[in-house]
Structure 1
Amino acid sequence: MWFRNLNLYRLHDAPQLDAAALGQVLGEQAFRPLGGSEARRMGWTPPAGRAGTQLFHELQGHLLLTAQRQERILPASVVREEVDERAEAIETSEGRKLRRQERLTLKEQVFEELLPRAFVRSQRVDLWWDTKRQLTGVNASSRKRAEEVLDLLRETLGSLKVTPLATQTLPMRAMTEWLGNASSRPADLIIGDQVELKAKGDDGVVRGRQVDLDSDEMQQLLESGRQASKLALQLEDRFTFVLHDDLAIKSIRFDDRLIDEASQADDGDDAIIRLETDFLLMAQALGDNIDRLLEWMGGEAGQPAASPNPGSF
């Protein structure tokens, strides 16, 4: 249940639906397995998997939804090889070269014939919706996959205005400042041991793992004009993560204390209760600490700037 990645978005004027109405619209876009000639399909599936039938869980204003995506994997090399074989056979039998349009038609024919026999890959993607903050986060490793899930949510609700969450101070500038000036770091923020530095020119990217980010060598790289595009951070007693320059939060690892709190909850061996307990603890931790991150970076873009006092909360 615990998210590994988080692509964050602001919801604007999101529709208010009661549980019955939300369940109905989600059901209309429920996942169905791919048909024989379909290349891909996405729909909603129970977050609890086989243990449940609910298409969403709502706890204290936090919604959990899960999209399931299926696609057929048909390598281009397989199609190309079959097209070449068929084209060669036609050219030999008819004693002529196939025109470009004929090869394209042949390629489409081969693709349609091979697609139903292609390997099917399935993927589940969780979405957290904080209805009080009007904030949503998608547990996807790529922005593209996250936005596919948001497109499904938009289609499900009829309309939905969503924008990537943005801050007054650009994440790259904030991370570079924290890295280069220890006194600028908020009180509960700890620098980790992973970084990616980009130069303004064409000097490439410097990546470091398991390195001392307060070393003289790191300071020299910053003094040369490089800026932090990724930085491992730890929110004390909460979780560790890698912050990206688009405000995506990746490689999340929740603190053992939070995991222990979840494991000690009495769920009566009920998989649904276990899921909801874990989700609520995670969602509360994420919501509170995203608020802190926004404050540390001057507040949300388009909103009045926060007072510069990074050490107090």
Structure 2
Amino acid sequence: MWFKNLIFYRFTESPDYQVEQLEHALEEHRFSPCKSQELSRFGWIAPHSAMDQQLVFAAQGAYLLTAQKEEKILPANVIKKALQEKVAVIEREQARKVYRKEQLQLKDEIILDLLPRAFSRYQQTSALVMPRSGLIVVDSASHKRAEELLNLLRNSLGSLPIALPDVHHAPAVVMSEWLQKNRDSVPFTCLDECELKEPGDEGGVIRIKGQELFSDEIIAHIEGGMQVTKLAVAWDETLNFVIQDDLSLKRVKPTEELSQTLNEEASEDPLVRLDSDISRLALECQKLYPQFMDAFGGQITR
């Protein structure tokens, strides 16, 4: 198991979590399926199908947690069509106009009627809690989903003193300087993909893939005022990923060298394999985080 995305959060107070404490806290918020009249459910599940009832997988002082969300799928056009039909029947049979307030009530009734027959969509989000390093890393492509998991963890534990990292230099400015000055920033090596954006909410966007990033054309765009908001890099011959200007990392992949090592260490036992993967993931995150912060001028602590 390897995280595809990394959103870092740092503890603002020194945590002291134990496996038993986490298991007990998460148990009260264990996932259970939606009831017939519910739109969604969110709760903790076992991080791996081979686990029994455990909700926490511990490896080398790091704790793997997984939350699952179930949402009932009710297409808006289906609800709209049913509402139109119901309104038409009332207006025809009762010879009166159905106004907005009543339509909203009818819409709620239609949703309640359709819910028991609706299909469900499931989403899983995992996080790695590393108390010794003072970090939580969430495998999510969006901050919204990451915050949903963290809010669930906060409700489970009673408190969760964490914050997103802040750095001294704006990531977009720093990444633009890497390309403009035609240099990498050890241990980060620029690959062949980036996104340039003009300042402002309605600024133009240029996406570049499979090209030399230190070209005159790209430098001209940067000198013209555009900034690098996404940049694909290789880190320490270990991981490849895309740095976002909000300090999240997307499309995280082990390099060929690391993939070969992981395959050589692979076990037939799924939980032994999970232990190996999570131990290595935690180790790489612990090494990556301080170097990542340093690349943007260092972390601001408050």
When normalised by structure 2's length, the TM-score is 0.95
Instruction: Judge conservation of contact 2:15–2:134 (CA < 8 Å) in 1.
Output: no
Q: Secondary structure at the match of 1:291?
A: helix
Q: Distance in 2 between matches of 1:91 and 1:110?
A: 17
- Alignment partner of 2:178: what SS? helix
Amino acid at match of 2:115: L
Cα shift readout 1:74-127 (whole Å, capped 9, x = no counterpart): 111111110000000110001121121111111111111112211101111110
Q: Shift of the alpha carbon at 1:61?
A: 2.1
Percent pairwise identity? 35
Residue 271 of structure 2: SS of its match in structure 1? helix
Instruction: Map 1:34-183; keep pairs closer than 5 Å.
Output: 34-183=34-183
Q: Is the 1:52–1:272 contact (alpha carbons within 8 Å) kept by the matching residues of 2?
A: no
Q: Could you report, residue by residue, the CA deviation over 1:251-307 in whole angstroms, capped at 9, with x for unpaired residues?
A: 11111222222222263x21111111011112211220121111111111237xxxx
SS in 1 for 2:89: helix
Aligned to 2:96, the other structure's residue is in SS state coil
SS at match of 1:42: strand
* Alignment size in residue pairs: 301
Structure 1 stretch 251-260 or stretch 118-127: which is displaced more?
A: 251-260
Gaps of 5+ in 1: 304-313
Aligned counterpart, 1:221: 221
Q: Output the CA distance in 1 between the equivalents of 2:77 and 2:154.
A: 35
Q: Using the alignment, how far apart are the partners of 1:241 and 1:38 within structure 2?
A: 38
The residue number in structure 1 matching 2:285 is 286
Contact 2:40 2:72 in 1 (8 A): yes
Matched AA of 1:284: L
Two-structure CA RMSD over aligned residues (Å): 1.5
What residue is the counterpart of 1:190 in the other structure? 189
SS of the residue aligned with 2:126?
Answer: strand
Shift of 1:35: 1.1
Greater CA drift, 39-48 or 202-211: 202-211
8 Å CA contact 2:33, 2:70 repeated in 1: yes
Q: Give the TM-score normalised by the residue count of structure 1.
A: 0.92
CA shift for structure 1 position 144:
0.5
For residues 236 and 264 of structure 2, the distance between their equivalents in structure 1, rounded to whole angstroms, comes to: 21
* Cα deviations by residue, 1:119-153 (Å, 9 ceiling, x for unpaired): 10111111011211211111111111110000001
Distance 2:31 2:54 in 1: 13
Secondary structure in 2 aligned to 1:302?
coil
1:195-250 Cα distance to aligned partner (Å, 9 max, x none): 11111254411111112111110010001011111111111311111100100100
Partner of 1:307: none
CA contact (8 A) 1:165 1:300 kept: yes
**Which residue number in structure 2 is paired with residue 297 of structure 1?**
296
Letter in structure 1 aligned against 2:12: H
**Contact 2:91 2:97 survives alignment (8 Å):** yes
Q: Secondary structure at the match of 1:182?
A: coil
Structure 2 unaligned regions, length at least 5: none
Give 1:60 shift.
2.1
Shift of 1:177: 1.1
The residue number in structure 2 matching 1:248 is 248
Instruction: Flag as ranges the 4+ runs of structure 1 deviating above 4 A.
Output: none
Which residue of 1 is the match for residue 12 of structure 2?
12
Whole-Å separation in 2 of the counterparts to 1:288 and 1:82: 56
Distance (Å, rounded) in 1 between the aligned partners of 2:151 and 2:190 = 35
Tell me if the contact between 1:46 and 1:65 (Cα under 8 Å) persists in the aligned partners: yes
3-state SS of paired residue (1:97): coil
Paired with 1:24 and 1:14, the residues of 2 have a C-alpha distance of: 20
SS in 1 for 2:115: helix
